[in-house]
Amino acid sequence: MRLLILGTGGMANQHAANFRAIEGVSVVGGVDVVPERLAAFCTEHGIANHFTTLEDALAWGEFDAVANVTPDRIHHPTTLQAIAAGKHVFCEKPLATDAVKAMEMTEAIERSGKVGMVNFTYRNSPALQKGRQMVLAGEIGEVRHIEASHLQSWLVGRHWGDWKSESKWLWRLSKKHGSNGALGDIGIHIVDFASYGSGLDVAHVFARLKTFDKAPGHKIGEYDLDANDSFTMNVDFTNGAIGTIQATRTAAGQMDQLRLRVYGETGSIEMIYDTGKSTLRACLGEDVHTATWRDVPFDPVETNYQRFVQAVRAGRTQEPSFRRAANIQKVLDKALASDLSHADEALA
């Protein structure tokens, strides 16, 4: 498989490294509007062909698939261009900045017959995959209650750099730069984590979003600091279970932690991804009477990168698909609407 990487910012390095490690995959081209960044990226990863526009890359055309690692608001137009040119697409999350655009992309890729998948990176957690299997197998009985959180702290600590002076962080705080804040950036991950891990879909959302004062006049240079920093959701799931989903960038002491607890009628399961480390625990059987939690072993799982390559070779999309990402985007859109209306929002 010949792959073109569209957008050569920080996350593109993960795409290049992961795809190049897969036997039979060649990263043959790179695209970026910043020539210096593009040249450095292609040199680092040994990529022979580089282009400053997607149009030029598509005119060349000597590739099978596109890894779209552009900023969020650029996903929609560039992915549609790639689909129209007959390419498979592996897109970074979120698929689009709203559900209408995401569904347009979904319908386009499905009509084309090409593979379209989205990089929900935390699907790579073996604890999540094993925990989901246990829930679906009925090991905790019917699901009744869910707790889910995604906690980061880069607005507090400098472990990932200084957000006040680095554009790669500042754009995430600014609506006019295409950011939907914590909800759009990490909210999409934890909603997918909670829904996928529990095997349930969200039916209703009641949400609150918060943007904190972070600089004089809520502005640093060209960046208006108006995107949300934290959110909470109360949700109903399609089976009647209820739960909470929350995320923040201000959780000191938590670099990048996703935690999901799924409580059922006969037991509970906890799935944790914490800055690269996965943990799975359960309270099952007789242990429910003593509130004893035990570690659950799990095996390594294939990554989204590997699944995408398999899907292209087989000519059949695997999960997480464009349609899945569009449905998760609907939840985020309803959360935004709920915050404005101060009312419960139902998903159609």
pLDDT score recorded for residue 59: 98
Q: What's the pLDDT score for residue 178?
A: 81
Strands 143-152 and 256-264, by their bridges, are: antiparallel
Asked if pLDDT for residue 348 goes beyond 80, the answer is no
State which H helix or E strand residue 245 sits in: strand 242-248
Residue 168 has pLDDT above 90, yes or no: no
For the cut 90, the answer to whether the pLDDT of residue 337 exceeds it is: yes
* Stretch 256-280: mean pLDDT: 97
For 27-91, give the DSSP string.
EEEEE-S-HHHHHHHHHHHT--EEESSHHHHHHH---SEEEE-S-GGGHHHHHHHHHHTT-EEEE
**Alpha-helical runs (H) found in the chain:** 10-20, 35-45, 54-60, 75-84, 99-112, 126-136, 167-170, 181-182, 188-198, 304-314, 322-341
Mean pLDDT throughout 281-289? 98
Task: Report pLDDT for 179.
Answer: 87
Q: What are 195's two structure tokens?
A: 């829904």
Cis geometry, peptide bond prior to residue 94 (ω within 30 degrees of 0): yes
Residue among 28, 35, 32 at smallest CA distance from 12: 32
Give the pLDDT score at 92: 96
The share of the chain scoring above pLDDT 70, in percent, equals 100
**Do strands 2-6 and 65-68 pair parallel, antiparallel, or not at all (unpaired)?**
parallel
Domains of the chain with CATH codes: 2-121 (3.40.50.720), 122-346 (3.30.360.10)
Task: Dump pLDDT digits (tens) for 25-81.
Answer: 999 999 999 999 999 999 999 999 999 999 999 999 999 999 999 988 899 999 999
